[in-house]
Chain A
Amino acid sequence: MYFAATIAILLTMSLALARALLGPTVFDRVLAVNMFGTKTVLLLSVIAFLYGRPDFLDLALAYALINFIGVLAVLKFVQDYMLRHQDTDL
């Protein structure tokens, strides 16, 4: 039954990748990265059990903890960017 969940996660990953490649705005791509991150956490947890090595959950835990740092960095980047170029769009 892990297989069904894995397949659903992998399909969702490809959908997220499609969104990342299609855009159209840069934020759609950031959203796709974030989605991909949570999907990776799920995939790693499921596969750890599929392989019968639950001690490898450390990896999923690492992603769950630090994956959102990238999005915060994007927020800071946009904030500084808008301060510097007030006229242009990102």
Chain B
Amino acid sequence: MVTLFGVFLLTLLVITAFGIVRAQHLFVAVMLSGIFSLQMAAIFFILDAADVALTEAAVGAGVATVLMLGALALTDDRERGPKRHRWAPIVVVSLTTLMVIYATFDKPRLGDPEAPVHQHVAPWYLEETPRLIDIPNVVTAILASFRGYDTLGELFVIFTAGIGVLFLLANPSKRGALSLLPSAEAEGLRHHLVPRVVGRLLVPFIVLFGLYVQFHGEYGPGGGFQAGALISAGFILYALIEGEGAALRAMSFRLLRGMIAGGALLYVGVGLAGMLLGGNFLDYSVLADNPIAGQHLGIMLVEAGVGLTVTGTLLTVFHAFAAREQRR
């Protein structure tokens, strides 16, 4: 029965995708991609991926729409190119779709326990996590400990993207340093009473929930990536209702920059500390007296580093778009 629910949602997903491609008005396309993200989160949840669904929820609902709208405000909200559909791409794309579908007939069906993907390394992770790391959430264990290198690489991609956006959009100040120039006229929605009262009430809860997700990530769905997106959603809400100036006073650009670099440094630092104490890079078992306590400490610090960098990057990007808007 739940499989049928999944099939239904997947069908809706395809319809939404066609809608996004067809929409001439980019604002409409952005709204439809909001629906797309909600459907993706529900499908992830049905497919047993609670952590992934939480990430999609935090990113898709809180950050993605706001960023896309910020970009639309700076460019053009309508597609002005030729409206006709060209035949060559349609033919190529349809043929490729049929080929990919033909290729799927060799794949094991959904949920097959005999599928090759479940045979090799995954059972090892599931069996050894309680013994080696002893935290309930296997996803967090793999993310932060077993595949720590991989996550470090991902973190540096986010770090680089944040720096890149700053170089492209932030305004050079007098001394040549980049800044985000909060201007006095940035009102936000300050004269709308209802969103302001409710928003001010909710911001602390969102940040608190973000911190819960950050530090509860070893026991339930959560971790640095989700928490970073949630906390930045909270501050974006604050910036929307009180104006960017107020948000930058609460969390200054300097602090955000420090968070972006500090999170990545914390991650690398934990790895180096492991090396100094006689283990390998990102080997946490040497961090404390017994290996399991060391793993717990290492995972907590690494997740904190991830959370700092993600929060810093997403908020910096948001402020960069918003500050650009006011300069026009």
Contacts and interface: CB of A to CB of B under 8 A. Distances in A.
Q: Tell me, yes or no, whether A and B come into direct contact in the complex with CB atoms closer than 8 A.
A: yes
Number of chain B interface residues as a range: 35 or more
A20 B45 CA distance: 23
Contacts of A29: 28, 31-32
A26 interface: yes
Nearest to B48: A51
Given A13-B12, A23-B28, A77-B73, A63 B241 contact: no
Interface stretch (B56-64, B112-120, B149-157): B56-64
Contacts of A1: none
Interface string B220-234: 111000100010011
Given A10-B9, A63-B57, A69-B62, A76 B38 contact: no
A69 B189 CA distance: 12
Interface in A1-55: 3, 6, 10, 13-14, 16-17, 20-21, 23, 26, 29-30, 32-33, 36-37, 40, 43-44, 47, 50-51, 53, 55
A21 B222 CA distance: 33
Contacts of B73: 77, 80-81
B325 A17 contact: no
B41 interface: yes
Interface stretch (B125-133, B205-213, B282-290): B205-213
Nearest to A55: B220
B46 A47 contact: yes
A36 B38 contact: yes
Select the residue from B57, B62, B66 with max chain A CB neighbours within 10 A.
B57
B16 A59 contact: no
Interface string B188-230: 1100100100010010011001000100000011100010001
Contacts of A72: 189, 195, 199, 237, 240-241
Given A43-B42, A47-B2, A59 B32 contact: no
Contacts of B1: 3
B72 interface: yes
A75 B199 CA distance: 14
Given A40-B41, A81-B73, A73 B15 contact: no
A62 B209 contact: yes
Nearest to A32: B35
Nearest to B188: A76
B72 A33 contact: no
A50 B2 contact: yes
Contacts of A73: 65-66, 69, 240
**Chain A interface residue number, banded:** 35 or more
Contacts of A76: 188-189, 240
Interface in B2-53: 2, 5, 8-9, 12, 15-16, 19, 25, 27-28, 31-32, 34-35, 38, 41-42, 45-46, 50, 53
Contacts of A75: 189, 192, 195
Interface string B225-261: 0100010011011001100000000000000000000
Nearest to B220: A55
Contacts of B77: 81, 90
A3 B147 CA distance: 38
B141 interface: no
29 contacts: A20-B32, A21-B15, A26-B31, A32-B35, A33-B31, A36-B35, A44-B41, A47-B2, A47-B45, A55-B220, A56-B50, A58-B213, A58-B220, A59-B41, A62-B61, A62-B213, A65-B209, A65-B230, A66-B233, A66-B237, A67-B61, A69-B62, A72-B189, A72-B241, A76-B188, A77-B27, A77-B69, A77-B72, A77-B73
